[in-house]
Amino acid sequence: MINIYLIRHAESMGNVNHHLIGGQSNHYPLTERGETQAHQLGKRLQQEGLHFDYVHASIAVRAQQTCQISCGHIGFDFAQVQHTDQIVELSQGEWEGQVRKDIYTPERKEEIVTNSYHFKAPQGESQKEVCDRMENWLLAAIEGLDPKEEVNIAGYSHGFAIKCLVKRLMNSDPLMTYRTIIHNTSITCFQFNGKNWLLERLNDHTHIIGSDFIGHYG
């Protein structure tokens, strides 16, 4: 069985400035609280006895830091991580850094609802385009692997990007992408048996439940 672990980055400076549209914003680092979350994630992986045969990480600083910190707890050499721009966050194009309430007017929200799969910001990406590149990454990541053997692959990515891959693999309605919560450092796992993708867990963030830094930032 091929196991794909999709892991969202820890809390970043973009998350605590949620009044601004983040999008990719690959320069945002983790907050101090985010570093704590990443360590909690690493301890969780260690407690489960999880090992990764391959690790892929978004080139965004926040994903890189989350990967390096958490992988340190399970002894995965960060030098062996495959860095990729295929699993970065949705690009919001010209809207990145803009005040959220000024962009997402009631009229624009209605436009998103009626055209959720193809809607995109100027010079940005649509949900479909993110679904396509996330699926392309996944297919390349498992190419040549035998589903009869146990293989664990981690992908350190982003909230909306992970939602898009979930949508594609589950063949769900595009609106469900906006109705799914993916917390910081949460684990979403799919298993591939050679024929079908099976959802093993979604948004598993029990390693930070009950702490003062649990939150959902969209």
pLDDT digits (tens, 9 = 90+) for 105-127: 999 989 988 999 999 999 999 99
Q: Mind listing the pLDDT tens digit for each residue in 126-135?
A: 999 999 999 9
Asked if residue 18 lies in contact with residue 50, where contact means CB atoms within 8 angstroms, the answer is no
CB 7 within 8 A of CB 187: yes
Provide the mean pLDDT of the chain.
93
pLDDT at 97: 87
pLDDT at residue 81 tops 90: yes
Amino acid at 101: K
CA–CA dist 16, 207 (Å, integer): 20
**Confidence class of residue 22 from pLDDT cuts 50, 70 and 90?**
confident
Dump strand ranges (E) for 59-150. Answer: 82-84
Angle in degrees, 0-180, between the axes of helices 61-74 and 32-48, rounded to the nearest 10: 40
In this prediction the pTM is 0.94
Name 197's Cβ contacts closer than 8 Å, sequence gap at least 6.
Answer: 169, 170, 190, 191
| Confidence grade of residue 61 (pLDDT, cut at 50, 70, 90) | very high
